[in-house]
Chains A and B, each alone.
Chain A
Amino acid sequence: MKKLSARRRHPLAALVVLLFALAATGGLYAAFAPADKAKAEEAQTSLAIDEGKKLYAVGCASCHGTGGQGTSDGPSLVGVGAAAVDFQVSTGRMPAQQNGAQVPKKPKVYSAAETEQLAAYVASLGAGPETPTKSQYSLDGKEDAANGGQLFRSNCAQCHNFSGKGGALSNGKYAPSLDGVDPKHIYEAMQTGPQNMPSFPDTVMPEKEKRDIIAYLDKVNGEDAATPGGFTLGGIGPVVEGLFAWVFGLGLLIAITIWVAARTTKAKKS
């Protein structure tokens, strides 16, 4: 005890206290944060209800109107087509949790069968793009990934970044990262233009080109994509590279200077 009080005034005492405080804050945050998240997910799943129009009336009508004509809280669904419903519902974006700059991707609420029922109902409101079939979006090895890359840089990279890592839009909106996104959803997004994303209909970007883009993304950003140089550092360019150079490069080197210049331990006088 006496030792402790003597060390209270040690030059390094402030540092130790600071470390303690940081650890405690972090620990407390870690202890409480997940609890909130779990609760939110529970509330979400409780939304799940059964089929077709009935599903719509309960899950969607409050924002999109009883006949899908849209309200001030949600756009009209007349003519958006089954593909749009499939994209929004099976990526979990719909039903939306709250109004905000943008509705984020989250665990999906409806099962595949329910999604299909919803899609069929919305498609009946007005003609629109149909849900793509597997042959439309899945890769058969005949795609030209290099051409896909060229198309990606012309049409997509301005928002989604050169390797699909996402980027910022105005007022809190953003283009999401394409990491691990199902090819079907990439295809549907290009076809329907969800939320603020513009669409790239077949008339200006034919099916084959969409598949080229999917093939390119698979090559550079898929699960088996190689990153020859090592850590990609998020693949978002010089900002992270600069941070890394400062923290790990200069930080490490300055730590080394301290070792180089420090006095060698002296023999104990006794």
Chain B
Amino acid sequence: MSSQDNSKDNSEENLPQQPEGADSGALSKRDDPFANPGLPPHEHRVQDIDEQAAKRSERAVAGLFTLSMLSTIGFIVSYVSFDIDKIVYIFPIGRVSALNFSLGMTLGLALFCIGAGAIHWARTLMTDVEVAEERHDLDASPEVREEVLAGFQEGARESDIGRRKLVRNTLIGAVAMVPLTGLVLLRDLGPLPGTKLRHTKWAKGKMLINENTLEPLRPEDISVGSLTFAMPEGLSEEDHDFHNEIAKAALMIVRLQPENIKDKRELDWSHEGIVAFSKICTHVGCPISLYEQQTHHVLCPCHQSTFDLTDGGRVIFGPAGHSLPQLRITVNDKGYLEAMGDFAEPVGPAYWERG
């Protein structure tokens, strides 16, 4: 696009001609049947010639403006007379807030009537004679152009910016460097990533806590075909960093028939067919949990990545790039399910340092 200049002005012969002075419509019809015939004569509207009709328009406009005033009053009346939690049935919308409906309708009507009135006024009573106005290109005349350029040259010369290179170069350097201060200030927007994305709250010996009851889970609680969500022992909704932790540690627990498990490592990491997978999708991190208990697939509601829970959480459809991480679990001596460590790989979306 920058090569406008080196295009060498291909002699403009490919450009169509523009008839000069066609605006007057002066070209005779005989010479050019397609010539611009000029503005058609103005035709009168009913309102222009019939005062009765004009009066009717006037009344319509005034009527609309009056209706607007009434609606504004209606708005104020609704505001003071309806309780905010009053619910009314309005056909066919349903059981809606009386206040929202009445305020919105009266406001809408008050505004709409002003608009409709003004436009009806403009359309029927104001002039509709079309007139032509000449356009003028914004380009300055050559004299003005010369004058401005000369003025600029003079200013540049007087500033000595061309001669005193040292001043110019240091100025450029200074102005180029000063935004760095702003950039540096952005550093404290957040901490460096470190290995934060690699670790979760899960650790060896942490019990699996049922998110519904906040009780530790036992193997016999979990039947084939059921779905349970768990969080690590010691995490509470009241914790300051609860959201950050649950965003990585959320767990999805299902029980499979051991003979249905195709992946050997999955079987090793399960307990009596109970498998625990990360609830966080490996695509962009939605909580994935649309578990189809007959197919043993889980689907992500955000982008439909589908994982096979009988095959190590392998991706079988959709945009996710790698399997769902599995948490290795066992049973402690009190009979509760517990983790045998943290996830072996980072949970959630992939990132550059994930490897």
Contact = CB atoms under 8 A, between A and B. Distances in A.
State if A and B touch, Cβ cutoff 8 Å. Answer: yes
Interface of A: 75, 151, 154-155, 158-159, 167, 169-170, 173, 175, 193, 195-201, 203-206, 209, 224-232, 259-260, 263-267, 269
B293 A198 contact: yes
Contacts of B227: 155, 198-200
A216 B211 CA distance: 18
15 contacts: A155-B227, A159-B301, A170-B317, A196-B294, A196-B295, A197-B293, A198-B226, A199-B293, A209-B213, A226-B96, A226-B97, A230-B101, A264-B124, A267-B46, A269-B43
B213 A228 contact: no
B222 interface: yes
A167 B95 contact: no
Interface string B204-234: 0000001111000100111101111100000
B128 interface: yes
Contacts of B304: 170
Most central of A75, A155, A196, A263 by chain B CB within 10 Å: A196
Contacts of A225: 95
Contacts of B245: none
Contacts of A209: 212-213
A29 B50 CA distance: 51
A203 B292 contact: no
A232 B94 CA distance: 9
Interface residues of B, number: 50
Contacts of A151: 212
A193 B254 CA distance: 13
Nearest to A205: B212
Contacts of A158: 287-290, 301
B96 to A, nearest CB: 5
Interface in B44-80: 44-50
A227 B87 CA distance: 9
Contact of B226 (A167, A193, A264): A193
Most central of A169, A265, A266 by chain B CB within 10 Å: A169
Nearest to A259: B119
Contacts of B222: 203-204
A158 B293 CA distance: 14
Contacts of B220: 203
B306 interface: yes
Top 9 A-B pairs, shortest CB-CB distance: A198-B227, A228-B97, A203-B221, A196-B292, A226-B87, A198-B293, A266-B43, A204-B228, A199-B226
